[in-house]
Amino acid sequence: LPSDPSTGAAVKAADRAHVFHSWSAQGLIDPLPIAGAEGSYFWDYDGNRYLDFSSQLVNTNIGHQHPKVVAAIQEQAGKLCTLAPGFAVDVRSEAARLIAERTPGDLDKIFFTNGGAEAVENAVRMARLHTGRPKVLSTYRSYHGATAAAINLTGDPRRWPSDNASAGVVHFWGPFLYRSPFHAENEAQECERALAHLEQTIAFEGPQSIAAIILETIPGTAGIMTPPPGYLAGVREICDRHGIVFILDEVMAGFGRTGHWFAADHFGVTPDLLTFAKGVNSGYVPLGGVAISAEIAATFDQRPYPGGLTYSGHPLACASAVATINAMAEERIVENAAEIGETVIGPALREIAERHPSVGEVRGLGVFWALDLVRNKETREPLVPYNAAGADNAPMAEFAAACKRGGLWPFVNMNRTHVVPACTITEAEAKEGLAALDAALTVADAHTV
């Protein structure tokens, strides 16, 4: 690996002088300067290479610098870089067709955005206009983005400083057997009780006031909790009964991560609106969108849709989506995610969980796995308290540092580490990362009681 520490130092100095970072106390952060990336790896200026088990923010599903996607962006840049959303343009039409072909059911119209939060904003706007109702229900333990409505829908502490930026959001509990809000003892009970709780929430909020229920098909950042069999079908039925729009947020779970094109495919459920971003083009150029059912699209046949973005369906973003989707199909990348999850990652993580006292639960599928780290397997007390900061968060910070020393870039949130590599990861790379993870977990074990 090339090593160029003085350039790294200059990159960092300019960053610290002028870049204002997301979610951070600006005086307390120490961003690592990155020199390059390829496939499942990226590297710094000091000759350190990291196996990316985070896929950045769980978006590089196709890995870093996929040659076909890079070439498509270069080719499009030479042809036509930008065009207002009102025109018809070949790559936008083709991206919409490829996405609509893969989204479930009759979700055949695509509204393009620049990312996930804007997709959620527009899905909520569509639902409110379609129903003429104000409220939207979402779950605790969720993340939907950082714009006004999206952050209020979010069910984690990132919402707190922005609470009430958008009116009409009501939170309820989704199913999560390991930390069951319903004291359930098995998946069937959890499913039944979660649906009864949702029914009751709707009854007390007034069904005629509820425009939409939005769920992450499989909640991602909040902990990769695959819903029990029947839950999503149950929500679908409740929505139908009350005329409520069902929105599935597939920003993180979509485009191969779970081993299907969409997580909804595992459950045979079709929402009315589906939001996507991240994996649609692995974030090579910012892109997101909403896939819209025939019925909701028809609401805006004669009546203008009151929403838009200068860069909606940006040609560079759409060209990269076309190349990404085609490469994923040609190279069996979604199938690889499914196979590696089932044959390598899942079995290895379950075996790791048996040996490490800090691993309370392993859950997931495809390249979408969470390890719930605990102080004690019996009590399931989280390794760090909910929303821990500073000294309270030391066990997780030490664990993350140990991963990095071992050449592994982990995804860490609260008391969990997620194993979310690229869908293109090879068996050898997965094994290399799992070995580094195994070693780093001894640091977490030291904090168990």
Identity of the residue, 44 or 216, whose beta carbon is nearer to ligand PLP in the bound complex? 216
Per DSSP (E only), the strands in 217-313 are 245-249, 273-276, 288-292
Identity of the residue, 252 or 285, whose beta carbon is nearer to ligand PLP in the bound complex? 252
* 112 binds ligand PLP, rule: CB under 6 A: no
- Select from 278, 427, 255 the least CA-distant residue to 344: 427
On whether the CB atoms of residues 113 and 312 are closer than 8 A, the answer is yes
Q: Which structure tokens are listed for 51? A: 């196996």
33, 39, 104, 116: which one contacts ligand PLP (CB under 6 A)?
116
238 CB burial (10 A radius; 0-12, 13-18, 19+):
middle
Q: Which of residues 286-325 bind ligand PLP (CB under 6 A)?
A: 288
Contact region for ligand PLP (CB under 6 A) — 71-79, 104-112, 214-222, 337-345?
A: 214-222
Query: Least separation, in Å, of the C-beta of 194 and ligand PLP?
Result: 19
CB atoms within 10 A of CB 381: 15
Specify the 3-state DSSP secondary structure of 397: helix
What track of x and - describes contact with ligand PLP for positions 147 through 186 (by CB under 6 A)? Answer: ----------------------------------------
110, 225, 277, 334: which one contacts ligand PLP (CB under 6 A)?
277
Identity of the residue, 115 or 382, whose beta carbon is nearer to ligand PLP in the bound complex? 115
Q: Which of residues 120-149 bind ligand PLP (CB under 6 A)?
A: 120, 143-145
* 249 binds ligand PLP, rule: CB under 6 A: yes
Site size toward ligand PLP (CB under 6 A) is 16
Residue type, 166: S
Query: Least separation, in Å, of the C-beta of 413 and ligand PLP?
Result: 10
* 216 binds ligand PLP, rule: CB under 6 A: yes
Identity of the residue, 116 or 234, whose beta carbon is nearer to ligand PLP in the bound complex? 116
On whether the CB atoms of residues 386 and 156 are closer than 8 A, the answer is no
Specify the 3-state DSSP secondary structure of 131: helix
Identity of the residue, 42 or 143, whose beta carbon is nearer to ligand PLP in the bound complex? 143
* 220 binds ligand PLP, rule: CB under 6 A: yes
Contact region for ligand PLP (CB under 6 A) — 113-121, 259-267, 303-311, 405-413?
A: 113-121
On whether the CB atoms of residues 138 and 215 are closer than 8 A, the answer is yes
State the virtual CA torsion across 248, 253, 255, 257 in degrees, nearest 10: -160
Query: Least separation, in Å, of the C-beta of 300 and ligand PLP?
Result: 23
Spell out the residues 6+ positions from residue 350 whose beta carbon is closer than 8 angstroms to its own: 362
* 256 binds ligand PLP, rule: CB under 6 A: no
Q: Which structure tokens are listed for 1? A: 């690996």
Kind plus residue range of the DSSP H or E element containing 96: helix 90-102
190 CB burial (10 A radius; 0-12, 13-18, 19+):
buried
Residue type, 82: T
**What DSSP designation does 344 have?**
I
Contact region for ligand PLP (CB under 6 A) — 73-81, 160-168, 244-252, 310-318?
A: 244-252
Contact region for ligand PLP (CB under 6 A) — 15-23, 112-120, 207-215, 392-400?
A: 112-120
Query: Least separation, in Å, of the C-beta of 144 and ligand PLP?
Result: 5
Kind plus residue range of the DSSP H or E element containing 216: strand 210-216
Contact region for ligand PLP (CB under 6 A) — 109-117, 364-372, 385-393, 432-440?
A: 109-117
Q: Which structure tokens are listed for 441? A: 């977990």
On whether the CB atoms of residues 81 and 75 are closer than 8 A, the answer is no
User: CB nearest ligand PLP: which residue?
Assistant: 116
Contact region for ligand PLP (CB under 6 A) — 30-38, 247-255, 296-304, 412-420?
A: 247-255
**Residue numbers of the site for ligand PLP (CB under 6 A)?**
57, 115-117, 120, 143-145, 216, 220-221, 249, 251-252, 277, 288
